[in-house]
């Protein structure tokens, strides 16, 4: 049994390495040399207009990659042949920024028609959004192609929810080839953005491992019933990409149940403590994890397509 598992692991990681090697940071250097600056300018304009959009663009990339790989499937509207991912429980009335991606795609199409995929635009926009909000940069691997279908079921099953406990978080990330350290680092994306009342109501009314003053403050904006869409910041500096998220966790000030699970007497406590005191370590680990997440099961070569409209297949 052990030898079979070892063999299976070799096959999985060999496939993973092959897929990763097909992506390249220089993929568009000849075919669309101005694509990175075009995306950066558009993301900057969107985030300046609304700071929260930075978190939304980062989340779009995450929710795309966790459903059958980084293939732009989250952007597809429903059709007569399939129900897309936008109405899945983790996405409905929650994931946003589609209009920003539409704008970017339109601008990119005007300079390089049918060259740059929507999946690549998501990956670059996520990086640029983090940088604009004061976070680290990393070299985005490019060359993904877009899927021609989407999966509501996979979105419902594969994206970890706000009520996840530590073991289920570790399992969800492991299934995507991401280890525990990468899971904790990527969770740091919650240093920007806001969450809906429905995502943290159970925590502030039922859990004891939460700072009492924080819980009281949150209850004023999130009653025990109703007001599901009222927003509260995920950490104390929601428009600055820093390590406040981890400093909050050490003080039992995680907004979501899944957040506080990272510092709750378990195996990830030491990582949270490390990131809470050393932002450089967090930045380095986050950047590396984003590159790895961005390489989950990409469509490359002749697989998939390059959509001209991110909402619809060609």
Q: Which residues are catalytic?
A: 63
How far apart are alpha carbons 292 and 239 in whole angstroms? 24
Which H or E run includes 105?
A: helix 98-111
How far apart are alpha carbons 128 and 115 in whole angstroms? 20
| 312: β partners | 309
Task: Give the closest residue to 126 by CA, choosing from 286, 310, 243.
Answer: 286
Around Cβ 199, how many Cβ atoms within 10 Å? 23
CA distances from 228 to 18, 196, 201, 207 (A): 44, 6, 9, 18
How far apart are alpha carbons 181 and 179 in whole angstroms? 6
Task: Give the closest residue to 258 by CA, choosing from 203, 299, 213.
Answer: 203
Strands (E), the chain: 194-196, 231-233
How far apart are alpha carbons 251 and 82 in whole angstroms? 45
CB 111 within 8 A of CB 35: yes
How far apart are alpha carbons 153 and 85 in whole angstroms? 8
User: Rounded to an integer, what is the distance from CA 107 to the centroid of its chain?
Assistant: 23
């Amino acid at each position: 049994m052990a030898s079979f598992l070892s063999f299976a692991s070799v096959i999985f990681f060999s496939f993973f390495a092959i897929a990763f090697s097909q992506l390249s940071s220089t993929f568009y250097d000849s075919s669309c040399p101005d694509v990175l600056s075009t995306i950066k300018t558009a993301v900057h304009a969107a985030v300046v207009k609304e700071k929260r959009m930075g978190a939304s663009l980062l989340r779009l990339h995450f929710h795309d990659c966790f459903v059958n790989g980084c293939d732009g499937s989250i952007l597809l509207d429903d059709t007569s042949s399939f129900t897309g991912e936008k109405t899945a429980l983790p996405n409905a009335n929650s994931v946003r920024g589609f209009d920003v991606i539409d704008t970017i795609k339109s601008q990119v199409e005007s300079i390089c028609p049918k060259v740059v995929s929507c999946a690549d635009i998501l990956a670059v926009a996520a990086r640029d959004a983090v940088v604009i909000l004061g976070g680290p940069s990393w070299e985005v691997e490019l060359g993904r192609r877009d899927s021609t279908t989407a999966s509501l079921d996979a979105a419902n099953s594969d994206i970890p929810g706000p009520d996840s406990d530590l073991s289920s978080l570790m399992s969800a990330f492991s299934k995507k080839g991401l280890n525990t350290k990468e899971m904790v680092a990527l969770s740091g994306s919650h240093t920007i953005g806001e969450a809906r009342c429905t995502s943290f109501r159970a925590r502030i009314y039922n859990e004891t491992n939460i700072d009492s003053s924080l819980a009281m403050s949150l209850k004023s904006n999130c009653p025990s019933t109703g007001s599901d869409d009222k927003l509260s910041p995920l950490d104390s500096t929601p428009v600055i990409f820093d390590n406040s998220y981890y400093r909050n966790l050490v003080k039992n000030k995680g907004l979501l149940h899944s957040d506080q699970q990272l510092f709750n007497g378990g195996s990830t406590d030491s990582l949270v403590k490390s990131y809470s005191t050393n932002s450089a370590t967090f930045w380095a680990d986050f950047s590396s994890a984003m590159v790895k997440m961005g390489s989950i099961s990409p469509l490359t070569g002749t697989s998939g397509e390059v959509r001209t409209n991110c909402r619809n297949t060609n």
